[in-house]
Amino acid sequence: MKILHITAAYKPAVIYGGPTMSVATLCEELSKAGVSVQVFTTTANGAQELAVDTAVQLNVDGVPVIYFTRITKDHTHFSPGLLKALWKKATEFDAIHIHAWWNLVSMLSCAIALARKVPVVVSPRGMLSAYSFNNKNIGAKRLIHKIMGESLLNKSHIHTTSNYESQAVINLVKPLSITALPNFVKLPNPGVIDQSTCGGVLKLLFFSRIEEKKGLDILLKALKFLTLTYHLTIAGDGEEEYINYLKTLTRGVEDKITWAGFYGADKFELLQQHHLLVLPSHDENFGNVVIESLGVGTAVLVSEAVGLAGYVRENNFGWICQTNAQSVSDTINNIGASGLAALTNIRQTAPAIVRNDFTGTALAQKYINFYQQLIKA
């Protein structure tokens, strides 16, 4: 079985956050499981380009990857070289898996793959939701969707990373099929992370790209309603103008906040040092950091708009809030009032369970079965 994965950005382009790394981890795990995987991507790295050889096959952590030059330096990621190679090579693959939407790599690749009569899987990665449609470039998205996007997606198979995302997609398109399979999430080796509960004040952590979608403003507004002793660490980066706006929301509590900036390989140590990860996103198809946090035993507070909210609720791995400051503060106050027993229990039980659910050969086999079914269809 040969699967071609197409994504506008691939590691080491970590500037794009979780989605880029999720695609890479999926490809690595499939390759380990014996699937013949090939990746077509571009040199996209924000406003810059990756310093990699182009139009030649490279081995990136066990995955054959070809980077193609893009001629637009924005989110459109237009790459004639990639599209030309796809037209030539498409029929060599059993299926073509396209990641993300609303860029020229994804949409034009989908059109080419369908024209070449190869089964197509699209993983929208959170880009086919009501929130996405109604935030940024609304008019352009609706026009593109009406002219070509809807037709392409209706002829494709859709892969989502949560039931929450599946419902969002169903409200917009009617694909050939829709299947929810979670992301693979890289976790530290068992036993490497100290499983003891950190003491002292209630240590809160926000760990994500800093942008409006992630709801950090909601958390900052909630701080003034907290009645317990706390300290908040904010780990992540974003546009300077937006961060400066957020800092205006912290007047009076600046001494209770640490702006830690971007964290990379040492993120698991940071996650383990806190009592509670807070992610009050307005829209989140999955939320890798939720599993990363639970993987080291740190409980989570997520909004009902986070794709993993159902998983958190079913396993008693944390708490669910609404996307408003009062709900966030009420929930944190209740956690503090009830003591640390629940936090300690999560720290002891969550790591083994999430490792079983989001890593390993069992999840890889689910993806393999998914590809086999759509190829037969």
The model's pLDDT over 88-100, given as tens digits with 9 standing for 90+, comes to 999 999 999 999 9
Tell me the pLDDT tens digit for each residue of 273-289. 999 999 999 999 999 99
* 92-106, 131-145, 188-202, 356-370: segment of lowest average pLDDT: 188-202
* 57-66, 120-129, 262-271, 327-336: segment of lowest average pLDDT: 262-271
Mean pLDDT of 323-332: 98
Is 277 within the bounds of a domain?
Answer: yes
pLDDT category of residue 182 using cuts at 50, 70 and 90? very high
Q: What is the pLDDT of residue 194?
A: 56
Q: What is the pLDDT of residue 374?
A: 93
Q: What percent of the chain has pLDDT over 90?
A: 82
Residue 22 has pLDDT above 60, yes or no: yes
CA distance 29 to 36: 11
Residue 193 has pLDDT above 60, yes or no: no
Do 288 and 18 form a contact (C-beta atoms < 8 A)?
A: yes
Q: Which of these, 141, 125, 283, lies nearest to 211 by C-alpha position?
A: 283
Is 196 within the bounds of a domain?
Answer: no
pLDDT category of residue 195 using cuts at 50, 70 and 90? very low
CA distance 357 to 368: 16
Residues 97 and 73 placed together within one structural domain of the fold = yes
DSSP-based three-state secondary structure for 184: coil
b/e map 276-296, b = 16+ CB within 10 Å:
bbbbbbbbbbbbbbbbbbbbb
**Tokens matching residue 181:** 């399979």
Residues 31 and 120 placed together within one structural domain of the fold = yes
pLDDT category of residue 200 using cuts at 50, 70 and 90? low
Residues 369 and 331 placed together within one structural domain of the fold = no
Residues 353 and 370 placed together within one structural domain of the fold = no
Residue 326 has pLDDT above 60, yes or no: yes
Mean pLDDT of 47-67: 96
Is 191 within the bounds of a domain?
Answer: no
Tell me the pLDDT tens digit for each residue of 141-178. 888 889 899 999 999 999 999 999 999 999 999 999 99
Do 364 and 84 form a contact (C-beta atoms < 8 A)?
A: no
Do 170 and 180 form a contact (C-beta atoms < 8 A)?
A: no
Looking at residue 61, the DSSP 8-state letter turns out to be T
Residues 161 and 80 placed together within one structural domain of the fold = yes
Residues 14 and 151 placed together within one structural domain of the fold = yes
Is 194 within the bounds of a domain?
Answer: no
Residues 239 and 218 placed together within one structural domain of the fold = yes
Residue appearing with tokens 């912290």: 250
DSSP-based three-state secondary structure for 33: coil
Tell me the pLDDT tens digit for each residue of 236-246. 999 999 999 99
Residues 66 and 140 placed together within one structural domain of the fold = yes
Q: Give the full edge-to-edge strand order of the sheet including 63-68.
A: 57-60, 63-68, 36-42, 2-6, 95-99, 120-123, 157-160, 177-180
Range of the domain at 9: 2-184+360-376
Quick one: how far is CA 68 from the chain centroid? Answer: 23
Q: Indicate the pairing of strand 157-160 with strand 120-123.
A: parallel
Residue 50 has pLDDT above 90, yes or no: yes
CA distance 281 to 207: 12
Q: Which of these, 82, 326, 115, 369, lies nearest to 224 by C-alpha position?
A: 326
Residues 325 and 365 placed together within one structural domain of the fold = no
Residue appearing with tokens 């809030």: 321
Q: What percent of the chain has pLDDT over 70?
A: 97
* 99-108, 177-186, 263-272: segment of lowest average pLDDT: 263-272
Is 192 within the bounds of a domain?
Answer: no
CA distance 304 to 310: 8
Output the domain CATH number for residue 11. Answer: 3.40.50.2000
Q: Which of these, 151, 177, 42, 157, lies nearest to 98 by C-alpha position?
A: 157
* 47-61, 131-145, 198-212: segment of lowest average pLDDT: 131-145
Residues 326 and 371 placed together within one structural domain of the fold = no
Is 122 within the bounds of a domain?
Answer: yes
Q: Which of these, 104, 99, 107, 47, lies nearest to 77 by C-alpha position?
A: 104
Is 222 within the bounds of a domain?
Answer: yes
CA distance 32 to 11: 18
Paired strand residues for 3: 37, 95
Paired strand residues for 231: 203
Tell me the pLDDT tens digit for each residue of 298-311. 999 999 999 999 99
Q: How many domains does the chain have?
A: 2
Average pLDDT, the chain: 93
Residues 88 and 162 placed together within one structural domain of the fold = yes
Is 83 within the bounds of a domain?
Answer: yes
Residues 103 and 245 placed together within one structural domain of the fold = no
pLDDT category of residue 131 using cuts at 50, 70 and 90? confident
